[in-house]
A and B are shown apart, each in its own frame.
Chain A
Amino acid sequence: MGYGCYIHVPFCPGPAKCPYCAFYSVPYESGLAENYVEAVLGHAGRLEPPKIDTLYFGGGTPTVLDIRLLTRLIDGLKNLLPLNELIEFTVECAPDTVEPEIFSELAARGVNRVSIGVQAFEEGVLRSLGRRHDVPKALRAFDILRNFPVDISIDLIYGVPGQKHADWQNTLARTIALRPEHVSLYCLSYEPGTPFTRKLAEGKIFRTTEENDEEMYRTAVEILKSNGYEHYEISNFAANGRVSLHNMKYWTGEGYVGLGPSAHGYYPGPPVWSRFAAIDDIRGYIQAIERERDPIGEREELSLALRLEEFLMLGLRLIEGFSRDDLKRQIPEIDADRVIEMLEPLISAGFLEMRSGNIKLPDERLFISDSVILRALELTDLDIKTPPGF
C-alpha cells in the first residue's frame, strides 16, 4: 500500500467559526488563500514521498477556496507528488458550498469521494449548532453531488444540548433515505476555548448526560446496521464496503504526509517512526515555505512503548480489532504473544473479546472505549515492571 496525503485547508466561510469547533481555520481571504496554495505546493515540492494512493482535502472547508485556486492546487500536487496510482480522493465540504460548477471541475480531476458536513436534518439542531445551512440546502447539496461519480459521506452530530431523541431518529432516517455510501458520527465535545465551552461554564447551556449520549449512539448503530451499513470503526459506517481508505491508514499504522498549516503526517519506519505537525498558523506556515525554512512545528519520534500505545489505541477503534499478526507486522520488535497475554484480565472481565483470532472491543463497550484502552495501556505499559492490579 502507498502513503496517504492529507491537505489541511484552513479556511471557513465565516464570518464566525462554528461555536463548537476547535479545528484550525481562519475566515476566507482571497489574497491569503493564493499564498496558501503556493505554500502548500512549495511544501509538496520539498517532499520526496513514496507512492501516494489516497488524497484527502480536509479543513476548515476546502470548498470555500476559489475554484481557480482549488484546481491550481490539485493540478500542482499532481505534478509534484507521485499520484498516478491514486485510489481514493476525498474532499470535505459544507452544504452551502456545493455547486455543480465546482464539482464538475473536481470530479474531472479525480475526486471520487465527498464528505459533507450535514450534521443534522433538523432545523432546531442546526440552529443550536450555529451552522450556516438549513435542511433544504443540505438536501440540495446532496442532489447536486449525486450527479457526479463520487461516494458521499455524511457527517452527523449528536449529543447537542436540546437535541431530542426523536430529532436524532429523524436525522438518521432521512440520512438513510438518501443512501450515502458512508456515514460518520460525532458526539459533540466541548473543546477548550470554543464559545460552546464558555457557555457551558456560564451555565447557559447544559451538557447532555452520559446516558443520553450513549442511547443516541446505540440508536444510530442499530439503525445504520439494520439498513445495511457496516460499522467498521467506532464512529464510521460504510455501505457496500466503501470504507474511507484514507482514514483507515490512520488506524492501521500506515504512513501519510500532511500539507498545510496544522496538518499532521506520519512516517513509519524502520528505522524510525515519527509524527509531524506543520506550523499551526497560516501566516507562519506560508512564511516558513517562502523563506525556505522548516514548515514543521512539531516532530516526535516514537519510542517502542509509544508505538505499542498507539497500536492499541488505534487498533481497538476498529470494530474488527487487531490480530496477533497485525501486531507482529507493525511492531516486530516486541513479543506479540506476551502483549496479548497481558490483556487477558480485560478479556476475562468482558471488556475485550477474542473473535476469530482478533482482539476487539465488544459492541456494548465501544462507547467506553477510552477507558478500556486506557486500562489496556496500563496493563501493557512497557515502562512499568508490574502493571496495576485489575
Chain B
Amino acid sequence: MKLMIGFAILTMGVGIWGLLTRRNLIKIVLSLSIAETGLQVLMVSIGYIKGRTAPILDSAVGITDAVHKVVDPVPQALVLTAIVIGVAVDALMLSYVIRLFAKKKSLDISDYRDMKW
C-alpha cells in the first residue's frame, strides 16, 4: 500500500505543478482534476487493509465475521462524496472557460489581466 500512497502523492504533485505552470485555461482545469484524483486514490488507499475484500456483506463475506474480512468503508463513502463534488466543480469551471473564450477568443490565462494589479 505504500507504493499506492506514493503514487497518489506523486499524482497530487503533478496536478499542483500543472496548476501553477500551465497557461491554457482548459489545462488548468485538467490539472486541478488530476490533483483531485490523487487525493481520492490517497484516501481510498488509507482505508485499505491487506488481504481483505470490499465492504459488501453478502453471502461470500457473511455478517458474523465481517469485521475481520472487509476494508474500512468510511474513506470510501467520503471519496464517493468527493468525486461527485469534483464533477460539479469541473463542470462549473469549464463553463467559466467557455464564457471567457466567448468574450476574448483566447484560452491563454495571460490575456485575462483585468483583475490583476
- Are chains A and B native binding partners rather than an unrelated pairing? no
